[in-house]
Amino acid sequence: MDQGTWNRLTAEQQSAVRSLTPQFIKAVQSSGAFDGWDFGQRFRVVARDHSFCISDGASELSGIHHSDRAVLEALMTDAVQNYGR
């Protein structure tokens, strides 16, 4: 994750990102996207049931949800910037 995105997060948000990262990496790799640009075109952070998830409009990335949108936005930024590199 780029330093600017990471530094904008609070300590609690950083902890949440750390805890979601291993599962998030697996979910991104299983998403069918071939690189970060493709992933960013297909997926968005959306509100669902009092929390946020990452969805392509038809399905959600399994197990990737949090009550703080900034946590998922940071993960999305990381995937778009780094997936496929």
CA distance 16 to 30: 21
Domain count, the chain: 1
Record the pTM.
Answer: 0.91
Full domain range(s) for residue 67: 3-82
What pLDDT is stored for residue 84 in this prediction?
66
Q: For the residues of the chain, what is the DSSP string, one character each?
A: --HHHHHHS-HHHHHHHHHHHHHHHHHHHTS--SSHHHHHHH-EEEEETTEEEEE-SS-EEEEEEES-HHHHHHHHHHHHHHTT-
Q: What pLDDT, in 10s, does the model give residues 13-28?
A: 999 999 999 999 999 9
Provide the token pair at 53.
């998830």
